[in-house]
Chains A and B, each alone.
Chain A
């Protein structure tokens, strides 16, 4: 990658984080957070995006971010009161900003209508407020320390009288917005060697010194001629926050030990307190004198920002490689144990205890590596808040999204693949779940509907719930639609849960009118399939009049899988535990043969089609399974059960999933592979695919049996 593209890529990664922070801040404000620092954080996010975009010449993005920033600045200065409507508008603007970032990354453009409308709305906000502008509170002050410069550089006495000179007068809010005088001066130093004279006239007593304000101004002089425009360019992003006054340079008096500004070689970062030595120094010296400061202080930690732990950005492929290697280590260790036990090692030897320790370590390493892949669901949930807003706007409903347990961690791949189904379910909750405001009023609910998105850990799995306080599932209507569409027989007598589960049937859609949101041809069956492909399960609880809860239960990781190790015709295979509902030892009497050799098995009065795995995979002739074979009952996607015949069940264990599609390609009926303790590869079955294939190759077999 060329360096520029690389920098640009990291800018976009940063943008994504900033946008997340922006949205998070706005949502905090929406919840009544009045902390000025939250406003500052929001402002900084937009400002940083603008700054970065400016550097890359992303005009459209800069344009929009600038307008957005201007309005936010008014809020920051308390010239604009934050109403709920304003926050909603800001959220919308944040969405548009995010669109702009995406467009810039993909080098497309955002439909100008939406962007312009939002700008107009934002600016309308300013106009209204200009009339009733009031400045009730003191200026927003953030806890920032003043910036000191490192000026310990060689003296330079031979300075010609003509050059460039200007005053750099800092204003309130310079450092708050992330503009570091140090960086500005470094940029200046690149133009020409400058001398900085610090003006401490405004510096108050130590007792009155607020570390959050900037009290010092500088006079910068250079013996070289520098264009005014060049200097202005350096201060471009801080134009509102400082004043640059160019002075006619006639004679410079350098008796007071002048120093030349160069980029400091080292920075001394101070941890907590500002070094009192510096303060006393500056106090001791008469104002307007050039002072020498040998230590540069950096602005203190941003105030009140949640303590974020240090992070390292690592490519997913590297993590995956580590996960693979650790999986290999686990297998190797198992092989070692196995061969040691084969040579009949006494259990209390040092080798055996060493091996045990090794086993423990391996397990710890595996857990830690898995934890690297785990990510909080927060970004995913944040994306959902946008979905809710858009869905609410499209359906003219008032919706509030509450998020719980957003720090719950789950495998990154799961998170990525959860986005689509979750989006769909959230849209459904808003579109189908919640009633229209007037209807809600009539039944005595608040006009604003509530959608709760909740994540939690429950017995080794992650449970994600989408709860709405809408009307609940209209079961008679669901039943009628299913009957009308011929999905179930007319006379079927279904329990409430069974009716709810009809929603997941392919070809089912309850929307009376096809709205913009749902009814895009993607039904809940697709959602269910997506969840299942992640090894998850989905269920519904619904109370008429009170709302519905959709629960998704997911495995913590996709890298390991709970499986049942089985044997078929001498081959060892793994069946995902999540797909097995029941197991049974096959007695010959249970099996009935229909015509054309179709077998069915009778269980508790119902007939289930029999599928011989060995026959399906071509390992053996039909019906040649051994006596006392085992039947695994598999639930197909349509709720139908299938009986899968295998020779025997070996054990139930966790297996490390190895992709097969990347190295070989898709094998019908096989989801992936794994490596067993003896180092051999075992295939992991894809039961849904298996049943699907059986249906294709032998259509009448199933129609007879099912």
Chain B
């Protein structure tokens, strides 16, 4: 993936860490465009349950993905305290609904471990690596393909 190339190109990786369902995840900060507060989304009919709908991002229509539901956990009951991470993924702008943003981390490439084989084979986890900061385990996820399939085909 593109992440790999970047990882090889530079030794240090900057990550944005956030919490979803009591767990800590992180994404490559280069894919993050902005972080904004939660706003009620307009639901889209005939869409998977992890698609919250669309919101108005300064005149653009931004689809919002409930990351918790997308990862197979319970859907987030969004409140004002929730956060949307606006990400640029394969030319598409997507909003990811998470519980909270926790940290910005700089991780050396050598500190990243690949996920265990077993986890890899179990469907869509999007987890591309694991790392430990202090006593916290942080999952590094690659959200390419987070949108529903029909969307990718249409885009």
Q: Of the candidates B46, B54, B56, which one forms a contact with A679 in the assembled complex, judged by CB atoms under 8 Å apart?
A: B56
Cα separation A272 to B120 with both chains bound (whole Å) = 78
The answer to whether A328 and B148 have CB atoms under 8 Å apart is: no
The answer to whether A327 and B45 have CB atoms under 8 Å apart is: no
A675: CB under 8 A from chain B?
yes
Interface centre among B54, B92, B154 (most CB of A within 10 A): B54
Q: Of the candidates B45, B47, B55, B154, which one forms a contact with A661 in the assembled complex, judged by CB atoms under 8 Å apart?
A: B154
Q: B43-76, CB under 8 A of A: which get 1 and which 0? A: 1111100000111101111110000000000000
Chain B residue nearest in CB terms to A673: B61
The answer to whether B63 and A619 have CB atoms under 8 Å apart is: no
List which A464-522 residues lie within 8 A (CB) of chain B: none
Chain A residues contacting B62 (CB-CB under 8 Å) are: 663
Q: Of the candidates A618, A619, A663, A668, which one forms a contact with B61 in the assembled complex, judged by CB atoms under 8 Å apart?
A: A663
The answer to whether A658 and B61 have CB atoms under 8 Å apart is: yes
Cα separation A328 to B59 with both chains bound (whole Å) = 5
Chain A residues contacting B153 (CB-CB under 8 Å) are: 665
Chain A residues contacting B53 (CB-CB under 8 Å) are: 681
Q: B126-155, CB under 8 A of A: which get 1 and which 0? A: 000000000000000000000110111111
List which A560-594 residues lie within 8 A (CB) of chain B: 571
| Nearest CB in chain A: distance from B49 CB, A | 11
| Nearest CB in chain B: distance from A605 CB, A | 33
Chain B residue nearest in CB terms to A660: B61
Chain A residues contacting B148 (CB-CB under 8 Å) are: 665
B40: CB under 8 A from chain A?
yes
Chain A residues contacting B56 (CB-CB under 8 Å) are: 331, 675, 679-681
Chain A residues contacting B151 (CB-CB under 8 Å) are: 664-665
- Interface residue tally for chain B (C-beta within 8 Å): 28
Q: B97-123, CB under 8 A of A: which get 1 and which 0? A: 000000000000000000000000000
Chain B residue nearest in CB terms to A330: B59
The answer to whether B150 and A616 have CB atoms under 8 Å apart is: no
Q: B14-47, CB under 8 A of A: which get 1 and which 0? A: 0000000000000000000000000011111111
The answer to whether A664 and B147 have CB atoms under 8 Å apart is: yes
Chain B residue nearest in CB terms to A614: B45
The answer to whether B59 and A673 have CB atoms under 8 Å apart is: no
Cα separation A303 to B151 with both chains bound (whole Å) = 56
Q: Of the candidates B54, B93, B152, which one forms a contact with A673 in the assembled complex, judged by CB atoms under 8 Å apart?
A: B54
The answer to whether B42 and A571 have CB atoms under 8 Å apart is: yes
The answer to whether B44 and A619 have CB atoms under 8 Å apart is: no
Chain A residues contacting B54 (CB-CB under 8 Å) are: 660, 663-664, 673, 681
Chain B residues contacting A327 (CB-CB under 8 Å) are: 59
Cα separation A662 to B150 with both chains bound (whole Å) = 12
Cα separation A452 to B149 with both chains bound (whole Å) = 48
Chain A residue nearest in CB terms to B51: A664
Chain B residues contacting A616 (CB-CB under 8 Å) are: 45
The answer to whether B93 and A683 have CB atoms under 8 Å apart is: no
| Nearest CB in chain B: distance from A538 CB, A | 28
List which A298-335 residues lie within 8 A (CB) of chain B: 324-325, 327-328, 331
Chain A residues contacting B63 (CB-CB under 8 Å) are: 663-664
Q: A664-B63, A665-B147, A673-B54 are in contact. Are A680 and B45 (CB under 8 A)?
A: no
The answer to whether B45 and A658 have CB atoms under 8 Å apart is: no
Cα separation A667 to B61 with both chains bound (whole Å) = 13
Cα separation A683 to B40 with both chains bound (whole Å) = 14
| Nearest CB in chain B: distance from A66 CB, A | 45
Listed from nearest, the 10 A-B pairs whose CB atoms lie closest are A665-B151, A328-B59, A617-B45, A665-B154, A664-B63, A681-B42, A666-B154, A668-B46, A663-B61, A673-B61
Q: List 8 A-B contacts (CB under 8 A).
A: A324-B60, A325-B59, A663-B60, A663-B61, A663-B63, A664-B44, A665-B154, A681-B55
Since A659-B61, A667-B44, A670-B45 are in contact, a sample of 7 more A-B pairs with Cβ atoms closer than 8 Å, ordered by chain A residue number, is A618-B46, A665-B147, A665-B150, A666-B150, A666-B154, A667-B46, A679-B56
